[in-house]
Structure 1
């Protein structure tokens, strides 16, 4: 274990403790990998901006939970809603092929707009799309 200076692409240098051996350059590889990215603060800011854009594009309501839960759930929800949105766009482009699946996709998007519990998004993170589809089959949305 040792502390290394990381020089990420955003220019915000920071120190990182890297564990493990360095007999085959493992730590050096990790330093290079971290240096090729944004610093943690810039990455969080970039994620927050991307999530805000998805929230605005799909008119999603604010999530309820702690600050950390909301930040985590926003990422999960953004990926799920974007995936559903792409499926809807693909279905609209080829209605003949996807006509039977479009109603469920729209229902899933409506459900995503009503699921405001950060905890639900976090608990469902492993299979969010399947969880949404299952919830839609049992809801009256």
Structure 2
């Protein structure tokens, strides 16, 4: 007699289904059927997943709004100029600028040996970079590299003899 291929499953969510387990080796069907009984049925699993994704999306939206408000307040407090770019890039750039400069301040001044006077020069240089895309591009940079990156950004703004090189 052949091992059955259709197994009745009473799922943990209370639903019943008949599962075709012919794709599994005969000696593994019973164990898999037992495991399936500890799981929700496919429809309940999908509904749960969709609800979790909606919860995650709502949480992320709230988190982004909080970060945006904090970054804009920080920008006003430290007299940072508005950024230039698309609406989406500007809001992202404001958050990135805040995160980059806050991380650099912590690493260089609070934990490092950069003086407040030297930091003010870095901050003043940062005020000259108003392209949102630049701040987005630097979001993963190391705090120690900030001065050099800002120098390169301000040097790039200067006209050259041949703008194509």
Taking structure 2 as the reference length, the TM-score comes to 0.51
Change (3 A) 1:50 1:125: same
Note if 1:78 corresponds to 2:98.
yes
- Report the Cα distance in structure 1 between the residues aligned to 2:108 and 2:123, rounded to whole angstroms: 9
Equivalent residue, structure 2, for 1:113: 127
Identify unmatched segments of 5+ residues in structure 2.
Answer: 1-44, 156-165
Q: Is the 8 A contact 1:64 1:118 kept in 2?
A: yes
Taking structure 1 as the reference length, the TM-score comes to 0.58
Equivalent residue, structure 2, for 1:19: none
Note if 1:39 corresponds to 2:85.
no
Equivalent residue, structure 2, for 1:51: 71
More RCO (CA 8 Å, sep 6+): 1
Moved more, 124-133 or 107-116: 124-133
Count of paired positions:
107
Deviations 1:35-70 (A, max 9, x none): xx9623322221111111111221111100011111
Q: CA RMSD in A?
A: 3.2
Q: CA deviation at 1:84?
A: 4.0
Moved more, 118-127 or 62-71: 118-127
Rg: which structure is higher? 2
Identify unmatched segments of 5+ residues in structure 1.
Answer: 7-14, 17-30, 92-96
Q: Is the 8 A contact 2:108 2:144 kept in 1?
A: no
Superposition misfits of 4+ residues, deviation over 6 angstroms: none
